[in-house]
Structure 1
Amino acid sequence: MSAGADPAVRVAGAGFRYARGTAGDLAAEGVSGISFELAPGTVTLLCGASGSGKTTALRMLNGLVPQFHRGELTGEVTVAGDTVPTRPLHEAGRTTGMVFQNPRTGFFTDAVLAELAFGSENLGADRDTTVARVRAAAAATGVTGLLGRGLGGLSGGQTQQVAFAAAIAAEPPVLLLDEPSSNLSAEAIGRLRRLIAEQRAAGRAIVVAEHRLHFLRDLVDQVLYFREGRIERRFDGESFFALDEATRRDLGLRRLTAPDRPAPPAPPAEAAGTGLELHSVRFGYRGRPVLDIDRVAFPAGRITALTGPNGCGKTTLARIICGLADPARGGEIRLAGRRLRAAARARASYIVMQDVGRQLFADTVAGEVTLGLDRAAAAAVDVDGLLAELDLAGLQGRHPQSLSGGQRQRLVLASALAQDKRVHILDEPTSGVGRAHLEAIAARMRALADAGAVVVVVTHDEELIEACADHEVHLPAVNRVAGAGAAD
């Protein structure tokens, strides 16, 4: 920052503790004593383990704490000249645009076009200005083709792209991005990188909270490493991406360079005998084709990565496999040679959804693990052991929705592990998790496969594929899989 220039963001000695329950008792979780400044035209990376305080720090900058999430805020938080705690929350759009870890939680409308226009309209911009901003934001993010779509019918990756478009459409001086690469394909991550570079060049201050790090090389000006609610270490971008492997692993960070892996082989044709086999599976939404699969097999006792570009139908296929949807007439799904209808597929399988918030129903973490099991089955589950393996020890009494995004992801995985199912589908299970948790999730999936289950992981995460996948089935953009190996 040049001498005399005002920072876009100034945080001085700030802390926040969340209020719990109707009594408003203050929790230990949050952040404390954090200080930093952001200059216009710079990128700041927040990194550290899930639950270390990164999302709370972002919420401090857009006013969601303490005005939406109740609790006690201390210290000074100033964004674009506004004192955030005293600014009306509806004014936040003038200074910040936010992409949430779960983008759907930040939407105000039910249609892509309306969502992109919302920020400008809410701030009183005229029609011509709003239209120009929407067109520019849609073109920049590659969502022009989605402008006529509803938000509810988008894939996770498409939702992420729309959220970014909405964040930049009102042209705020500060952008806050919480795990923006989660659920994005390699192509979409490349587009995200270009967008961040363009927004930086336009003079915006950008804060990125991320676990997937390699795509930010040569973009980041400063790095704030969080541990247990505090900023423990600070780096400039060059020194951070020059960290040696031992230091990187000690800090619990993911790769600083992109994985360079050979693709796992396609499942062998003979895998269908004991595993899952799909024939003539076709599906569409309101006349729009989504899936066209001649045949594909997912072997038992193996981990198969289901990959493909955003919007190609991966999550739809996962829903069909586990009985939440049915293919068009003529489609057939067999498990160990036996044809299964939707109800039987639902009984035989368990899915960890992309948006795990939709799967949390209990009022405690411990209760969530065994939810749906009968008394005898629940008693046989080592709840404390499962939670400890997934770094959730000590959280048994917490409400599931009070956890961080990565913690909720691992809690639903713990619930899946407690179920005695023959097919396990995990949809982007490592979005929002760091290296140690990725390795723990990979190990638990391996244990499921070793026990004889069919394990299918829907993912764009190259590090996860490298860590555990035995086979890969790729759904191409044209949504047609011709044989067991699925080629582009």
Structure 2
Amino acid sequence: MNATESQAGSVTLEDVSFSYTTNGSGASPYGPAPARRAAPGTTAVLRQIDLEIAPGTLTLLCGASGSGKSSILRLINGLIPHFHSGSLHGRVEVGRVDMPRAALADSGRVTSTVFQNPRTQFFTSDVRGELAFRGENYGVDPEEIERRIRRAAGQLGISHLLGRRLSQLSGGELQRVACAQALVAGTPVILLDEPTSNLSPQAVQDMTGILARLKADGHTIVVAEHRLHFLRGLADQVVLIREGRIARRWTGEEFFALGDAERRDLGLRTLETPPACDAVPLRAHAGDDAQTPPASARGLVLEDVRFSYGRRRVLDIDRLCFPAGCVSALVGVNGAGKSTLARILCGLADPERGGRIALDGRRAGTRARLASSSLVMQDVHRQLFSASVRSEVVLGLDPGRAREVDVDALLAGFDLAAESERHPLSLSGGQKQRLAIAAAIAKGARLHILDEPTSGVDHRRLEEIAAALRSLARGGAIVIVITHDAELIEACADRIVKLRRLDPGGAASPQAEVIRPPAATATRRIADAAGRRKDA
């Protein structure tokens, strides 16, 4: 990258304040009509932001979910005010481009973005077409587009996905495609919003290498993240955002030298590389009585469960048990079939003929599993339908169950009380995640499945979610957490179940295995606990 291109990578935010416009309609086909139509107004999200980012550096934005990190990225890439309307004051420049006044097409020549939810940035149906889309729109030579695609796919380890449809990919695979899209663009500034949220530990390590190469090539990188450890040695400056303001600044060296106590006081995730998910030490959790047995020794049992997408088999499980009364962490690499297994368990899909699923000792068909389960999806945007946060919590519940739910207590427990009248889709990614969990708890299901529930949350919210899951398990529910988050596993898991990706040449043996604690130990512990309850 030459000197002129390097200068194009400078970013300046000077005395910037921004408030989103709210139309006040409260309209939703799924929720009750609002008692009155709210007047249009604004929601202030950023206040007096002053930020200088030098070309060729990496800046980390950290802070609680909903603090304004994503809004800063939207300022830099021009989505504010061109796509997200509102009241903007101050100066925003990328290189020589005045972003609020430039056309979005011109903004796209200087910045590229990896969104927190990659599905929202895709325009085509297949991986290769998606990676070529941007260059084709800017009239880049087809041979150059293909060269960039091959290079980016190789760097991100997704060459084997180039012929696949986006609808067939896991959340982690979609995240890597979105990152490859930014690499193919070759813009001087690259913005990443929670780029590791759905990635396995190995993929997170790969992300570190990718960012290091981009930085070495002279790109300016801005990352908004809750996972922080992978940026040690890469971040040049770290900015803590709190309630729309810059609260603290550090150099990268100063930040990663923070003590653990100070880091926790700031509400931040670990600064040290956590262990692999299948090696997390399980322990008794604070607030739990180790002598209190699970409310039930029963659970969910799978036998001969197999599932394929066309000719590609993704699940081949001989036998697997998820006991009631404990939290089972389901881990494995991206594409191992974890989300597919979740869909089968909660009744959104059926295994191939011959597969058997039993709930509490009785065979459970599709309808029974649907009625008995709740699912917090990896892409939480797809399950929020109501007109307000409050109505979302009890949406779909029968009147008797809805009356039993203490909505105020649930919202307060997830720090959403102040957002109770907002539209769910206006929340930040982390707030949406917590709302979906609150709604799942309100359902009072027998089986709770959560797919990456901490993908967009800070340390304090992670602890709240872990406490909620432990409470569900203590009440006798079957709790399954699909996660790549070692901090969450340490905070709440009783068991770790590892799902291996099937070898195209033959099935893994076994594909699913209880590795921590060993299956026999887990079964004996639960049986002993049930015996103690019976004797009591």
- TM bin (shorter chain): over 0.9
How far, CA to CA, are the matches of 2:385 and 2:8 in structure 1? Answer: 46
Q: Name the counterpart of 1:268.
A: none
Cα root mean square deviation, aligned = 2.0
Deviations along 1:159-188, one digit per CA (max 9) or x if unpaired, are 000000001101000000000001100111
- Whose Rg is larger? 2
Return the offset for 1:376. 2.2
Instruction: Look up the SS of the partner of 2:417 in the other structure.
Output: coil
Indicate if the aligned counterparts of 1:93 and 1:119 stay in contact, CA closer than 8 A. no
Aligned partners of 2:118 and 2:175 also within 8 Å: yes
The offset of 1:486, in angstroms, is 4.3
Structure-to-structure mapping, 1:360-399, within 5 angstroms: 360-399=384-423
2:72 aligned with 1:57: yes
Q: What's the counterpart of residue 13 of structure 2?
A: 11
Match for residue 343 of structure 2 among 303, 308, 319:
319
Q: Tell me, in whole angstroms, the C-alpha distance in 1 between the residues paired with 2:344 and 2:487.
A: 26
CA contact (8 A) 1:352 1:413 kept: yes
Q: C-alpha displacement at 1:91, in angstroms?
A: 2.6
Whole-angstrom CA distance in 2 between matches of 1:321 and 1:32: 45
Find the counterpart in structure 1 of residue 241 from structure 2.
Answer: 226
Q: Which position in structure 1 is the counterpart of 2:259?
A: 244
Q: 1:6 touches 1:39 (CA, 8 Å); kept in 2?
A: no
User: Residues 228 and 118 (structure 1 numbering): CA distance in 2 closer, same or farther, change over 3 Å?
Assistant: same
In 2 relative to 1, CA 370–221 (structure 1 residues): closer, same or farther, beyond 3 Å? same
Q: Contact 2:497–2:514 at 8 Å: present in 1 too?
A: yes
Measure how far apart 1:26 and its partner are: 3.7
| Residue 75 (1) aligns with residue 90 (2) | yes
Distance in 1 between the 2:132 and 2:481 partners?
35
Q: TM-score, normalised by structure 1?
A: 0.95
How far did residue 90 of structure 1 move? Answer: 2.4
Q: Are the aligned partners of 1:295 and 1:483 in contact in 2 as well (CA < 8 Å)?
A: no
2:291 aligns to what?
Answer: none
Structure 1 residue 487 displacement after superposition? 6.1
Is 2:89 the partner of 1:87?
Answer: no
Paired amino acid for 1:140: Q
* Secondary structure in structure 2 of the residue aligned to 1:408: helix
Q: Hey, what's the Cα distance between the residues in 2 that align with 1:404 and 1:332?
A: 39
Q: CA offsets per residue over residues 401-427 of structure 1, 9 Å max, x none?
A: 000000000000000010121100000
Task: Give the share of equivalent positions with the same residue, in percent.
Answer: 54
Output aligned runs, 1:205-224, within 5 Å: 205-224=220-239
Shift in alpha-carbon separation, 1:81–1:481, aligned structure 2, 3 A:
farther
Aligned residue identity for 2:421: G
Q: CA deviation at 1:123?
A: 1.4
Give runs of aligned pairs for residues 172-191 of structure 1, distance below 5 A: 172-191=187-206
Contact 2:16 2:91 in 1 (8 A): yes
User: What residue identity is the alignment partner of 2:203?
Assistant: A
Q: Does residue 482 of the first structure (1) align with residue 510 of the second (2)?
A: yes
Residue 204 of structure 1 corresponds to 219
* d(CA) in 2 for partners of 1:272, 1:461: 27
Corresponding residue to 1:102 among 114, 117, 133: 117
What whole-Å deviation, never above 9, does each CA across 1:24-77 have from its counterpart, x for those lacking one? 834333111101111121100000000000000000011111111111111000
**Distance in 2 (alpha carbons) for counterparts of 1:483 and 1:287:** 18
Matches of 2:436 and 2:410 in 1, distance apart?
A: 11
Counterpart in the other structure of 2:170: 155
Among 340, 356, 376, which residue is 1:352 paired with?
376
Unaligned runs of 5+ in 1: 266-270
Say which is worse superposed, 74-83 or 304-313, in terms of deviation.
Answer: 74-83
Question: Structure 1 residues 372, 480: CA separation in 2 closer, same or farther (over 3 Å shift)?
Answer: farther
Match of 1:446 among 458, 463, 470: 470
- Residue 427 of structure 1 corresponds to which residue in structure 2? 451
**CA deviation after TM superposition for structure 1 residue 263, in Å:** 3.9
Query: Within 2, Cα distance between the matches of 1:180 and 1:469?
Result: 25
Residues 41, 483 of structure 1: alpha-carbon distance in 2 compared, 3 angstrom cutoff: closer
Compute the displacement of 1:273 (Å). Answer: 6.0
Corresponding residue to 2:308 among 260, 279, 284 = 284
Secondary structure of residue in 1 paired with 2:415: coil
- 1:287: Cα distance to partner? 1.0
Q: Distance in 2 between matches of 1:434 and 1:403?
A: 15
Classify 1:481/1:437 alpha carbon distance in 2 versus 1 (closer, same or farther; 3 Å): farther
Counterpart residue type for residue 13 of structure 1: D
1:145 is aligned to 2:160? yes
- State the distance in 2 between where 1:240 and 1:464 align: 23
Would the aligned equivalents of 1:365 and 1:395 in 2 still touch at CA under 8 Å? yes
Paired residue type of 2:476: G
Answer yes or no: is the 8 Å Cα contact 1:292–1:481 preserved in 2: no
CA contact (8 A) 1:212 1:255 kept: yes
Shift of 1:6: 7.2
Alignment of 1:251-266 (within 5 A): 251-260=266-275, 262-263=279-280
Secondary structure of the corresponding residue to residue 348 of structure 2: coil
Is the alpha carbon distance of 1:285 and 1:264 closer, same or farther for their aligned partners in structure 2, counting shifts above 3 Å? Answer: farther
Q: Confirm or deny: 8 A CA contact 1:97 1:175 kept in the other structure.
A: yes
Amino acid at match of 2:378: Q
Q: Which residue of 2 aligns with 1:472?
A: 496
State the Cα distance separating 1:272 from its structure 2 match: 11
Deviates more, 1:8-17 or 1:424-433: 8-17
Aligned pair partner of 1:20 in 14, 19, 22: 22
How many correspondences in the alignment? 482
| 1:302 paired residue number | 326
